[in-house]
Amino acid sequence: MPDILKRLFSPPSFEDDSKTFQAYLLFVILWGLIFVPVPYVLYVIFNSPEELNRALLQTVIGELVNLFLFYLLHRGYVRAASLIQVGALWLFFTVTAITGSGVMGEGYLLGYPLVIVIAGILTSGRTTFGITMLSLVTGGLMVYAENNGILVPSHRANLTTTWVISLAIFPMGMILQYLSRKVVQNALKRASASEERYRLISGVTTDYTFATEVDPQGGVKLVWVAGAFENLTGYTFEEYIESGGWTKHLHPDDVEKDAQDMAELRQNRNVRSEIRTYTKSGEMRWGRISAHPIWDKETNSLKGIVGAVQDITHTKAAEEKLKQTMLQQSAILNGIPDTAWLKDKDSRYIEVNEQFARVVGLKAEEIIGRSDFEIWQKDFAEHYRTSDLEIMRTGQRIYMEETQIDGKGREYWVETIKTPIHNLEGEVVGTVGITREISDRKKAESEREALINELEAKNAELEQFTYTVSHDLKSPLVTITGFLAYLEQDARKGDFARLQQDVSRIQQAVDKMQSLLRDLLELSRIGRLMNPPTEFTFTELVSDALELVRGQIETENVSIVLEGMDDIQVTGDRTRLIEVIQNLVDNATKFMGPQTRRVIAIGSLKNEAEERVFYVRDNGIGIPPEFHERIFGLFNKLNSSTEGTGIGLTLVKRIIEVHGGHIWLESRPGKGSTFYFTLL
């Protein structure tokens, strides 16, 4: 209940100030209208009891309408409530006039003026005009009806009745006069506030607007200015006109540009330009001019200009400072012999040096604003973007070595250092990077690694060589030493048969030692002592090698099959390459096995890379996979009972490698063996 009473006696408030004020006006009028009937009802009770029912009915209807309007008002329907209020009052006084004294009664003479004033306060001018005209027309109709006996007034108002009704109407008129003054005061207050806001804005803004007139002779006259004109120029409007106006304050270097802008306006074209002018104190300031021509269609000529001037002096100073910074930055970047760049947080290039542009194959200005995806191949671009995002996330510098492809398609090694760029708040806003080509270093590292691996292999081979040589040389020496003792004993005894056996055993040991030393000498010569390279066919090479092992081939009853020879040209040390075929064939005949048909195939083919591959294939006993690499090692004999020193395949491998090729074995036990090799 208290809330209802509070709302009833308090005008509503809304976010819209204009709506709130309109609601206040209606609120006051409604309360005034609630008390208007009181003097009239009291008068009727004491002086005209016969009209009491009519007076009470009018009062009840009026108060119900007022209460309904209070409801609409607090619900926010201010405009609707205002229109209903005006309409209801007009209808009330119309009915009162028709059922009462007509145009001579208080309803018409006092009521209609009251309605018109309320309409003027609460509604628009169009609505007020409509109510006024409607009242005049209604009055005319009532006069016509009375004159023709259509409408007969129920009574004529007397002076006392008129005075009593004025007791209600006049206070209401006072209320309306008060509200009219409030309307005017509110308008003045809003205008004053608007003017104050305009003054404050003008005091802090750096823009002003202007308008000019152009006379038939083409002269331009400044008509008015608004905004921060005085702040920007230092002149009052009058002082500016007296000092010569716009053209007298132009920077000498911008006079021609201003003339070009004026020519554009005379062609009925908008102008947007940046001009330097001087202020009253002599200070030079930059202004951004936006001018729009006012065109006279009758004369097809310029008759005026409206536009705005924005002070951009600080912006220009900042641009110049930024330009100097960028020039210094560019000079620093171009002074770096390596590839260098700056990127924003979106990984778009904002600055690159000349070396970067050369690598990419574009001009530096063509790279600015592009992303890695617009410059590099997709896989490289994705890698670069990933590293940028990592820097953005962690704020840490990164170092990496990677391959890169330049604008010509050349792939090379680089080392890259990327560092985050922080703003004053410590946020990462970009990256700076430097890349240096390290292809030569990588090549040197690779060569060093290869040399280290080769040296380690040589050392291992040397250790094996030392061990084997000492062992294999020691064995015949022990034999010789032992049989020399037997030789002495048998000589003393005169046992010539045993003596002959001792000498034979010593000779075998010497031959074995001599064979070992000869093979070791051959191995040491490969790579150091080579015959000059010559050209010959692979067929000739195979023929010479087979001639050297013909006796062994015939003894072992081995068939030789030549495949895919086709007079293939070979370049190299013919003698050494003959040794390769000779050793491979010799090796094949030793491990043929018990099969009746023994075959060795020699030929060539091309692999998937179109590389020429030579081979020697047999159908012998085969070699288990675990020995495929081992057999090329020094002194590695899979069967110690066979003849030879175990150096043959080592010699073959060394000769092939000296000729820029490589050799490998494919074999399975019981399925024979195939030695493949290539030559440069």
Determine what percent of the chain is predicted with pLDDT higher than 90.
23
Selection from 387, 358, 210 nearest residue 287 by Cα: 210
Output the pLDDT for position 261.
Answer: 94
Res 110: pLDDT: 74
Of 98 and 175, the structure prediction assigns the larger pLDDT to 98
- Enumerate the domain spans of the chain: 2-190, 207-311, 327-437, 443-524, 528-677
Residue-level pLDDT at 204: 46
Residue 37's pLDDT band, with cuts at 50, 70 and 90, is confident
Report how far residue 70's alpha carbon sits from residue 79's, in angstroms, rounded to the nearest whole number: 12
| Res 638 pLDDT > 90 | no
What is the CATH topology of the domain spanning 327-437? Beta-Lactamase (3.30.450)
Using the predicted structure, report yes or no on whether residue 537 has a pLDDT greater than 80.
Answer: yes
Can 207-311 and 327-437 be said to share one CATH topology?
A: yes
Q: Regarding the domain delimited by 443-524, which CATH topology (the fold level of the hierarchy) does it fall under?
A: Helix Hairpins (1.10.287)
Residue among 69, 70, 47, 66 at smallest CA distance from 58: 66
Class for the domain spanning 528-677? alpha beta
- The yes-or-no verdict on residue 467 having pLDDT over 90 is no
The whole-number average pLDDT for the span 230-244 is 91
- Residue 447 pLDDT: 87
pLDDT at 542: 92
- In 3D space, the residue among 176, 184, 94, 101 whose CA is nearest the CA of residue 131 turns out to be 94
Say if strands 598-606 and 558-563 run parallel, antiparallel, or are unpaired.
parallel
Average pLDDT, the chain: 81
70-74, 170-174, 436-440, 441-445: the lowest-pLDDT one: 170-174
CA 92 to chain centre: 72
On the 0-12 / 13-18 / 19+ scale of CB atoms within 10 A, 240 is buried
pLDDT at 222 (0 to 100)? 92
Which residue is it, tokens 């109407």?
A: 169
Query: 446's torsion region: left (phi>0), alpha (psi -120 to 50) or beta?
Result: alpha
Fold exhibited by the domain 207-311: Beta-Lactamase (3.30.450)
pLDDT confidence bin for 201, thresholds 50/70/90: very low
Q: Is the pLDDT of residue 194 over 90?
A: no
Which residues, in sequence order, are bridge partners of residue 613? 605
How much is the pLDDT for 404?
Answer: 79
pLDDT at residue 183 in the model: 57
Helix or strand run (H / E) with residue 343: strand 339-344
